Amino acid sequence: MLHQGSWFSSLMILSAIFSLTSLMLKSEGANHTVGDSSGWELLTNYTNWTQGREFHVGDVLGNFPNSQGFLLIALL
């Protein structure tokens, strides 16, 4: 049977390993221009635009070309 101090030390080491592994696996988000070259317009078929794309936490959806203003959505 492990002594209480040994058990706590083992738990702390496992926690540190898990934390470091999680930090190393951090991924960068992708930037997506909504509507591609046509931009974010009322007549754009966004269902078709999203086909074949995967969105993840950290991705940024933005509208830059042909825009009247500026719209940016970050997936948190």
pTM confidence score = 0.43
pLDDT, tens only, 19-58: 767 666 556 778 888 777 776 677 778 888 889 988 887 7
Q: Which long-range contacts (CB under 8 A, 24 or more apart) does 23-30 make?
A: 27/56, 27/58, 28/58, 29/56, 29/57, 29/58, 29/59, 29/60, 29/74, 29/75, 30/56, 30/59, 30/60
CB 41 within 8 A of CB 35: yes
Which residue range is the domain that position 24 belongs to? Answer: 4-74
